[in-house]
């Protein structure tokens, strides 16, 4: 049976509605959605696109409407663009124990890339695990968004996770001396890595990047299974363990999950960074808006 397309159905339509809503709330289609923390700079006309409900009517080209009978909106790009980096955890744990978690994470990654491109930013999308850091390279033209979707579709979740390794790979590829060696970094992961890897956040900040974390979990990860005895296998290492649970063990498991998540949240809070915990079945729109809200408040 073929795998379900994570970007099927009305995904693209929902993306455009979200973009229009965020632009309307920003109050300026020229600045548009600020995924990157960089603001300002001269803007120049880039292209036309179809009008979507919620678009600012000030940027409708009425001459085209008079000739063609269709509404088109002018799009602008800043002369000094910023770069948005979207890092997606593609380790094996992203598919366990809740099917669909990796698809949810891919939708969030795609949404951030779409919104950044629409705002005139360059986008570098990458998937990572312990033994890989794969990216199709920087994209600047919104018309290349379909290429990014194909890239995400083709990358399977496998291997162990390594947030510190992904941060190091990003710095190696981005460099630290060029004009674009800075920008927003959105990391989308279940964060089943040692909390000590929060060191990567400080490294990224020291190199003029602004990271934000989205922790994607399935409901099955929040509580231990109800049966007393079972065999568990680590999806990333293959290690198997026979487990027997009583009520006390289940309570300790739930507390440990919360403690691990809160430790990552505290790591972001100490550095003034955004952190969002999302369940796999939550609408991606809510997750994206929650991630961008702190950045919008700091930039205003």
pLDDT at 297: 45
Residue 91 lies in a domain: yes
Counting the structural domains of the chain, the total is 1
Range of the domain at 195: 11-16+79-299
Structure-token pair, residue 216: 């994607």
Q: CB under 8 Å to 177, separation ≥6 — which residues?
A: none
pTM of the predicted structure, to 2 decimals: 0.79
Residue 21 lies in a domain: no
pLDDT at 30: 41
Residue 106 lies in a domain: yes
pLDDT at 81: 58
pLDDT at 216: 97
pLDDT at 295: 57
Q: CB under 8 Å to 62, separation ≥6 — which residues?
A: none
pLDDT at 258: 94
Residue 60 lies in a domain: no
Q: Which is nearest to 89 in space by CA: 154, 158, 149?
A: 158
Residue 43 lies in a domain: no
* C-alpha span between 288 and 300 (Å, rounded): 18
pLDDT at 54: 64
pLDDT at 144: 95
CATH of the domain at 200: 3.40.50.410
Residue 240 lies in a domain: yes
Residue 214 lies in a domain: yes
Q: What is the chain's pLDDT, residue by residue, as a tens digit (300 residues)?
A: 346 899 999 999 999 999 988 887 765 544 434 554 544 444 555 667 787 776 667 778 888 778 788 888 776 554 445 789 999 999 999 998 777 999 999 999 999 999 999 888 899 999 999 999 999 999 999 999 999 999 999 999 999 999 999 999 999 988 644 444 578 999 999 999 999 999 999 999 998 899 999 999 999 888 876 766 666 666 556 676 666 677 787 888 889 999 999 999 999 999 999 999 999 999 999 999 999 886 544 433
């Amino acid at each position: 049976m073929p795998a379900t397309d994570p970007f099927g159905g009305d995904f693209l339509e929902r993306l455009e509605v979200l973009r229009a809503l965020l632009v309307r709330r920003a109050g300026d289609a020229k600045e548009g959605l600020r995924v990157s923390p960089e603001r300002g700079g001269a803007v120049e006309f880039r292209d036309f696109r179809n009008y979507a409900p919620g678009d600012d009517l000030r940027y409708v080209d009425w001459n085209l409407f008079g000739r063609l009978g269709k509404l088109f909106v002018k799009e602008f790009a800043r002369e000094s663009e910023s770069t948005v980096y979207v890092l997606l955890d593609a380790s094996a744990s992203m598919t366990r124990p809740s099917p669909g978690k990796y698809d949810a994470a891919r939708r969030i990654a795609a949404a951030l890339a779409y919104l950044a491109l629409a705002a005139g930013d360059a986008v570098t999308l990458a998937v990572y695990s312990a033994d890989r850091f794969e990216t199709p390279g920087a994209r600047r033209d919104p018309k290349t968004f379909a290429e990014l979707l194909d890239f995400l579709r083709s990358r399977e979740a496998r291997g162990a996770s390594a947030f510190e390794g992904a941060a190091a790979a990003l710095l190696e590829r981005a460099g630290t001396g060029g004009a674009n060696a800075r920008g927003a970094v959105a990391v989308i992961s279940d964060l089943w890595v040692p909390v000590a890897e929060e060191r990567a956040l400080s490294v990224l900040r020291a190199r003029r990047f602004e990271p934000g974390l989205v922790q994607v979990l399935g409901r099955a990860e929040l509580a231990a299974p109800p049966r007393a005895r079972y065999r568990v296998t680590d999806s990333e290492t293959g290690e198997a363990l026979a487990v027997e649970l009583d009520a006390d063990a289940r309570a300790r498991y739930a507390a440990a999950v919360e403690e691990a998540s809160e430790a990552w949240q505290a790591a972001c809070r100490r550095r003034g960074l955004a952190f969002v915990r999302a369940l796999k079945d939550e609408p991606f729109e809510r997750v994206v808006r929650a991630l961008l809200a702190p950045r919008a408040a700091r930039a205003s």
